[in-house]
Structure 1
Amino acid sequence: MQTTNLAPRSMDEEGKLLLRAALAVMLLFHGFSKLVGGIGPITGMVEGAGLPGVFAYGVYVGEVVAPILILVGLFTRAAALVVAVNMIVAVLLAHTAQFFTLNDTGGWALELQGMFLAAALAVALLGAGRYSLGGTAGRFN
């Protein structure tokens, strides 16, 4: 006698893919903007904080390289942690004054940065999943 599994199929793997893709694509828009327009304003903020201006180039890692790795699912957990650190640095350098403020529509002024940070931490905790170049057994995935 053959039994059938009537339990609903889990969509966890598809959810991981959707979360990874949304985070990566949205961040890549910011990275592309910096590739086209340069990082002059970021260099100014970094130097204004007393750090060497060369640290501003880290934005390319956090907004271009790491999102591409997250999107394809390679070294996903490490890349997501890079994005999380990038968001923390962005808030500290450019948005500290907005931390306890609301925007014109009543939302948190830092909701975009907050969502990027939360999504990056979720990806770091969940890993890339099945639909990734690294696969479920891939190192750092």
Structure 2
Amino acid sequence: MLKNEIGALILRITLGAIFFIHGVVKFQGGIENTANWFESLGLPGVTAYGVALLEIIGGILLIVGLATRLIAALFALLMIGATVKVKLAIGFLGNGQMAGYELDLAFLAIAVYLVINGSKLFSLSKRIFHRDSTNAKAI
């Protein structure tokens, strides 16, 4: 049981850090540029702000272990959207100018794992809500 929780902790923190950094880079590189790129894909430019904020705030929440399943579900949806809208046409390994969807697929798999299993080890949710499955009553 502890090995599974250690693995989930590693996945949770890694995915959170990756998304956090991606969100920060969107603002550092000029969020307007990202918004323009979203518009070139046929998406509203304001979507770039929502995605960047989700990546930053969601990344922090994953790292600290708060609302892990919810945030992981949102990241899974984000990865599905990115893959279908942008990366699928480029191919699994890319086209030489842009990366393919192999990394997006890995992030999707990690997010889905966290949605299914959660991650309680060193999580703020466990501290705040004091959830202990050994005390749960059988249904």
TM-score range, shorter chain: 0.7 to 0.9
For residues 111 and 69 of structure 2, the distance between their equivalents in structure 1, rounded to whole angstroms, comes to 9
What does 1:2-81 correspond to in 2, within 5 Å? 10-81=2-73
Where does structure 1 lack aligned partners over 5 or more consecutive residues?
1-8
CA shift in 2, pair 1:88/1:94, >3 Å: same
Partner amino acid, structure 2, of 1:125: I
DSSP 3-state at the match of 1:134: helix
In the alignment, the residues of structure 2 paired with residue 75 and residue 128 of structure 1 have an alpha-carbon distance, to the nearest angstrom, of: 10
Which stretch shifts more, 38-47 or 63-72? 38-47
SS in 2 for 1:130: coil
Counterparts of 1:14 and 1:76 in 2: how far apart (Å)?
15
Report the count of equivalent residues.
126
Task: Choose 88-97 or 126-135, whichever is displaced more.
Answer: 88-97
Look up the match of 2:135. Answer: none
Partner-residue secondary structure (3-state), 2:51: helix
Query: How many angstroms does 1:133 deviate by?
Result: 0.4
**1:120 is the counterpart of 2:114:** no
Q: What code does the residue aligned with 2:120 have?
A: G
Unpaired runs of at least 5, structure 2: 133-139
Which residue of structure 1 aligns with residue 75 of structure 2? 83
> Quick check: 2:38–2:45 contact (8 Å CA) kept in 1?
yes
Sequence identity, in percent?
37
**Equivalent pair of 1:70/1:76 in contact (CA under 8 Å):** yes
CA RMSD of aligned residues (A): 2.4
Distance change (3 Å), C-alpha of 1:102 and 1:53: closer
Question: In the alignment, is residue 110 of structure 1 matched against residue 95 of structure 2?
Answer: no
Q: Distance in 1 between matches of 2:106 and 2:46?
A: 27
Give the aligned residue type for 1:17. Answer: L
Contact 1:62–1:86 at 8 Å: present in 2 too? no
**Structure 2 CA distance, aligned partners of 1:111 and 1:62?**
22
Compute the TM-score of the two structures, normalised by the length of structure 1. Answer: 0.75
